[in-house]
Chain A
Amino acid sequence: MLARRLLIAAAAAMLSFPALAQDKSIVVASTTSTQDSGLFGYILPLFKNATGISVRVVAQGTGQALDTGRRGDADVVFVHAKSAEEKFLSEGFGVKRFPVMYNDFILIGPKSDPAGVKGTKDIVKALTAIKDKGASFISRGDRSGTNIAEIKLWTIAGIDIGKDRGPWYKEVGQGMGAALNIASASNSYVLSDRGTWLSFKNRGDLEIVVEGDKRLFNQYGVMLVNPAKHPTVKAKLGQQFIDWLISPEGQAAIADYKVNGEQLFYPNAHDRGA
């Protein structure tokens, strides 16, 4: 009954949305960092000019974006957590993973620096100091790529964050921007990707306190959702998007995107190990 009502509602509504008729479009499940940083706003119009395909981006955390792909609700996933991406592939949900670009994570903290970590390049030492001093730390807590990277860093520091956490460690379960807003309002430390930070506007007293550690590397990869699992996947158009991203043209577009003169993402499609 409900289903029938919804169908009728949908049919009625569809008549008023002519945009649905033109179907040269794909759905890409991606991360908040690629959207909030403004990258998609810059490169997607270039892609559309080149191919006529419009890309509909649903921006979620990496974990959620991969789940969207698993359910068949996206044609392409474009995320940043290699271990989770490889799992997605091994489950048969992705066709092949292509490295696209990288940037890095940075530790953001209040200018007053209560944990005294400013100046160090060693992210592990910094996290240990934050824990020892009990300085307020905001965690995404949402299985996003940044959250996965953060948990890995705690593990490298020999800290079992599930057990060793105290009231200083706050899981907010929200996107990167929201986590930065909370950190800004509560003068906390927070791990961020550089792209979101550079385009973030409500910084308050926050600044970069640790950057440049090799372990803060942040690789983005793209995969076509497997049409063998979900026949509705627009495989041809989706692969066209992937091919463009890793083509010289797409890679140049990524490198060209700058905020206040600063480059946000570094293309590396030809680095096979990435």
Chain B
Amino acid sequence: MEPTVSAFQLLLAGDPALLAVVRLSLIVSMSAVGVATLIGVPVGASLALTHFPGRTVVVVVFNALMGLPPVVAGLAVFLLLSRSGPLGSLGLLFTPPAMVCAQVVLVTPIIAALTRQTIEDLWEEYCDELTAMNVGMVRRVGTLIWDGRFSLITIVLAGFGRAAAEVGAIIIVGGNIEGFTRTMTTAIALETSKGDLPLAIGLGVILIAIVVLVNALAWTVGRAAQRYAG
């Protein structure tokens, strides 16, 4: 048996294949979280402030979708993007954008559901004030999102954690193609199946380190902004 290369040696040596995998993981997950935030925050905030028949059902569904199994989301996007599916003409299957789509489906409910809860709590605080000022719906939502922005950072990070950690969806829609759609998590799955457990666990530790780093960065920025805002 040949000795396995440690993942850390690869990282320290700046191994281009490993760096490409790390880079793709970050690009895919961050793009997905970006899109999911743009959709989820307004949707969640509007849901917090509106009342309509069936609202409870929508709230429960969003909460439940936080636990959407990645493999199901992956399969749904796969069927949609397959050449034989409704969006097949786009030719997106087995490409990074397909992976972003799948993760958007996974992350959006998390961001929407948590935003709804946060904004609803804030609304109880600001209800009288905003009603007295007689501001319209859009401005109410805007004001509350702005006031809840530091909590929203945590919500976005929760979404990022979900995206960066999942393998079930992106391995189906991305295909784990070397040098093109291989990410940290799919590389870990592959190395495990090749029986190279030390390399797999090494990649796992690097992935965790990256997620910690991103969280630390967001926390620091959030903290600084909070101080600045007084």
Contact = CB atoms under 8 A, between A and B. Distances in A.
B141 to A, nearest CB: 19
Interface in B147-205: 175-181, 190, 192-197
Interface in B84-101: 84-98, 100-101
A72 B84 contact: yes
Interface in B64-95: 77, 80, 82-95
Contacts, number: 116
B100 A177 contact: no
Interface string A43-84: 000000000001011110000000000011100000000000
Interface residues of A, number: 43
B31 interface: yes
A184 interface: yes
B195 A184 contact: yes
Classify chain B's interface size.
35 or more
Contact of B1 (A5, A59, A203): A203
B196 A73 contact: no
B90 A10 contact: yes
Given A56-B177, A58-B176, A73-B93, A201 B195 contact: yes
A112 interface: no
A181 B100 contact: no
B11 interface: no
B204 to A, nearest CB: 15
A13 B96 contact: yes
Contacts of A202: 195-197
Given A5-B39, A202-B196, A13 B83 contact: no
Contact of B31 (A13, A178, A232): A13
Contacts of A97: none
A12 B39 CA distance: 13
Interface string A222-252: 0000000010100000000000000000000
Interface of A: 3, 5-10, 12-14, 16-17, 19-20, 27, 32, 36, 40-41, 54, 56-59, 71-73, 174-178, 180-181, 184, 199-203, 230, 232, 260
Interface of B: 1-2, 4, 27, 31-32, 35, 39, 77, 80, 82-98, 100-101, 104-105, 175-181, 190, 192-197
